[in-house]
Amino acid sequence: MTIREFKMPDVGEGLTEAEILKWYVQPGDTVTDGQVVCEVETAKAAVELPIPFDGTVHALLFEEGTTVDVGQVIISVQTGEAGAGAPVQTAAAPVAEAAAAAAPAAGEPAAEARQPVLVGYGVSTASTKRRPRKAAATAAQNGTAAPAAPAAPVLPAVPAQPAGERPLAKPPVRKLAKDLGIDLASVVATGEGGVVTREDVHAAAAAAIAPQAAAAAPAAPAQAPSAEAAVPAPTVESSARETRIPVKGVRKVTAQAMVGSAFTAPHVTEFITLDVTRTMKLVQELKDDPDLAGLRINPLLLIAKAVLVAIRRNPDVNASWDEAAQEIVLKHYVNLGIAAATPRGLIVPNIKDAHAKTLGELSESLSSLVATARDGKTSPADMQNGTITITNVGVFGVDTGTPILNPGESAILAVGAIKLQPWVHKGKVKPRQVTTLALSFDHRLIDGELGSKFLADIAAVLEHPRRLITWS
């Protein structure tokens, strides 16, 4: 008999850790190739992991609720194969591909029981520890023997910088690394030719947060909390004035991304208040149209269409900033992000090639996107490569806000509550449906004139929705 080990795979675009939400097997259970053995939550999505071989579960190495580094062994299986087991990397690779493509279908009760988390307590003792790697690199440069490596690697193997070689990075990236306290020699470079990019530095900074928080936090119990107790109990009596809860998953990455965006892209926000009475009437007419029966018709649908029309009239707003190449990249497609509040936190999946969709297709995509997000089944791919985002704060009764850009995007539109208000219409004060739009944009890409024209065009379409036809 052979004991084969299965490591935590990278289930989406360079993520460094995942939390085990639920085990579907126990020691002694028989498993088959492709059988889902657990559900994990990454910083971007909840996914199920299938085992890539047959056998009997020998041991589960981490409890539910534990945050585990990519590359660490999470389960061992006793197989009937002779000789040494296959390399763990070979077993993990197809699982990562399958997990990234598949959405979770089980474990929903456990997922719903989890509570949103806030800044504070740190992570479990099994969380990321990357200092030994840095010490080993230093020892290699000094020509001394490195300390013994841990039994399970904490990260997947990556090409390392040769000893003494200076990492390749642009001056702004070097400054960013210095400001964040990141050693460029320890950063995994993903840029062309081995160049370290801003995204690489932010990823390294995110990975470094866990051990720093753990070092600053009070001693944690030896065993991680279970999924049913995802929110740890306070370490003091119930009358305490504060409760500290670990930051994980979506909230952790969202916080890091928003800080990076706020201090990287120079934000400008403009506002416009407008009469959307005609748009609200059109929404009702479309709901009554038998040709659109079965489709979800709401104001957000027409707002999304208005944004797409305005982008067509102002194509330069649909762009991104390439820091490494010092270039502006114009996008000839629109991946329209829609901010969605979920039990796991705020996520922004996007509708791919929204510019090419009809009104009916856009409605179907919106409905699918929202339903998938609320079920916690949004895949990492659905949240990548967005170009412009809409966030509807009006659903909470809020008039407007100053939204922060999603990293890599050029603009984000906040839609306020639509309310009946007194408005001058045709020379008389009448009750009209009024809302306020707020557009934040990256001032490196969009100057004041372009941003103003773009926002004004969105408002013009919503004030007179016939422009959905005449401007298309």
Residues 4/53, Cβ–Cβ less than 8 Å: yes
Q: What distances in angstroms separate CA 301 from CA 47, 88, 199, 289, 433, one per listed residue?
A: 29, 47, 32, 15, 17
What is the dihedral sign for C-alpha 64, 66, 70, 71?
Answer: negative
Handedness of CA 288, 292, 293, 297 (dihedral sign): negative
Residues with a known catalytic role:
443
> For residues 123 and 120, what is the distance between their CA atoms, to the nearest angstrom?
9
Phi, psi of 290 (to 5 degrees): -60, -25
| E strand spans, 46-192 | 46-50, 55-60, 67-69, 73-79, 168-169
Q: Which of 335, 268, 285, 275 is nearest to 308 (CA)?
A: 335
What DSSP letter does each residue of 17-31 carry, written as one string?
EEEEEEES--TT-EE
**Which H, E and C letters describe 151-210, residue by residue?**
CCCCCCCCCCCCCCCCCEECHHHHHHHHHHCCCHHHCCCCCHHHEECHHHHHHHHHHHHH
Distance CA 131, CA 147 (A): 12
Where do we find the tokens 């009437």?
Answer: 281
DSSP 387: -
- CA–CA separation, 304 and 308 (whole Å): 6
